[in-house]
Amino acid sequence: MDFRKLFLHSSLLVLHFAFSSSKDTITINQTIHDGDFLISRENNFALGFFSPGSSRFRYLGIWFRKVREQTVVWVANRDDPINGSSGVLSIDQYGNLVLHSYHNLKVPVWSTNVSVEATDTCVVAQLLDTGNLVLFDDRSKSTVWESFDHPTDTMLPGMKLGLDRRTGMNRFLISWRSAADPGTGNFSLQINPKGSPQVFIYWGTKYIWRGFPWPWKSYAYIFNASFVNNQNETYAAYSVSDASAILRLMLDYSGLLKKIIWQEKDGKWNEFQSTPRSPCDPYGHCGTYGICDPEFLSRRFECDCLPGYEPNPQGTGIF
């Protein structure tokens, strides 16, 4: 092999190694192939390709980097899996993040699909330590697109769930279909901003659970929830009072909303709240004018009527 070729080859190797070991950004003309990763600066999150559970398909996603059990918090191509390790992420000439498969380089599998006026391409995508993948204009530093505005089934600290009236953007969680399929499932967690805003879990278009009406209480223990409701925005968010804690709020594929914290010493996720939990939680469990008694286990009936009403034998179930 001639010397120049050898030199070129080894410098490419070095370049490739440096790139795949610790990069948190991609810019125009750079690519992330299956097997490459973006790693956030403090090592909190990774972006790359994965196959969930027993699935053979490949998805582009973001997961916790410090958690041994791979835990995905965001999926780009949730309904368009890639067959084999042919996926490649890049920024196209219009400044959009695009995901292609070698099998079809013409039509992207997924795209951020935002219209960026400037085609002079100073656009950079960066994976932040919050788990947010942000596409921004490097000169003005203005954000063009961010994954926190397009959640999958997981709400991370710093993310807003709800409506921005100025842009019309509504952010909500949609469950996976199963443990091995991150495709759009049947359950969603949404804030209904009308009147007194309330949080609902929907099964399709029917709601099966609702949280407390506005104004909401915040339970200060680790999860420090905050709520904003003004002319511009209606949203819920949370921060973490212990910065070393790794936790997440997620709507699982069976429709349960879970608050989960990573327990390093046990090497597993610990669920510390799951909703609907009590038989009274599902919306309308006892039917119209019914009252549900969460202490029902100590009595004979869990449902009772408000004074002046009789039990209805065709009472509604969960749905």
Ligand X SMILES: *[C@@H]1O[C@H](CO)[C@@H](O)[C@H](O)[C@H]1NC(C)=O
Least distance from ligand X to the Cβ atom of residue 162, Å: 14
Please say whether the beta carbons of 296 and 302 come within 8 A: yes
User: For residues 58 and 65, which CB has a smaller minimum distance to ligand X in the complex?
Assistant: 58
For the chain, counts of helices (H) and of strands (E): 1, 26
**Would you give the binding string for ligand X spanning residues 65-94, x where CB under 6 A is met?**
------------------x-----------
CA 272/CA 65 separation, integer angstroms = 22
Determine phi and psi for 4, rounding to 5 degrees.
Answer: -65, -40
Q: Binding to ligand X (CB under 6 A): which residues in 148-177? A: 177
Nearest to ligand X of 154, 292 (CB atom): 154
CA-based end-to-end distance of the chain: 71
Assess 256 for contact with ligand X (CB under 6 A): no
CA 51 to chain centre: 17
Query: Judged by CB, which is closer to ligand X: 177, or 258?
Result: 177
263 lines the binding site for ligand X (CB under 6 A): no
Q: How far is the CB of 190 from ligand X (least distance, A)?
A: 17
Report the SS3 class of residue 150. coil
Instruction: Please give the Cα distance from 61 to 152 (Å, whole number).
Output: 10
* Among 130, 224, 312, 316, interactor with ligand X by CB under 6 A: 224
The correct pick among 54, 142, 230, 244 for binding ligand X (CB under 6 A) is 230
Select 174 or 280, whichever has its Cβ closest to ligand X.
174
Provide the mask over 27-56, with x wherever binding to ligand X is found by CB under 6 A and - wherever it is not. Answer: -xx---------------------------
Q: Which of residues 94-153 bind ligand X (CB under 6 A)?
A: 111, 113, 121
Instruction: Rule CB under 6 A: choose which of 182, 185, 197, 276 binds ligand X.
Output: 185
- Tokens representing 243 are 């910065």
Q: Where are the alpha helices (DSSP H) in the chain?
A: 3-22
From CA 107, how far away is CA 77, in angstroms rounded? 13
Backbone angles phi and psi of 297, in degrees to 5: -60, -30
Residue recorded with tokens 């070729």 = 5
Q: How far is the CB of 38 from ligand X (least distance, A)?
A: 18
Q: How far is CA 155 from CA 100, 209, 237, 263, 297, in A?
A: 27, 18, 8, 19, 33
Applying CB under 6 A, does 232 fall inside the site for ligand X? yes
As measured in angstroms, the least distance from the Cβ of 30 to ligand X is 9
Please say whether the beta carbons of 75 and 144 come within 8 A.
no
Binding segment for ligand X (CB under 6 A), chosen from 64-72, 135-143, 155-163, 228-236, is: 228-236
Contact residues: ligand X, CB under 6 A: 28-29, 83, 111, 113, 121, 177, 185-186, 220, 224, 226, 230-232, 239, 241
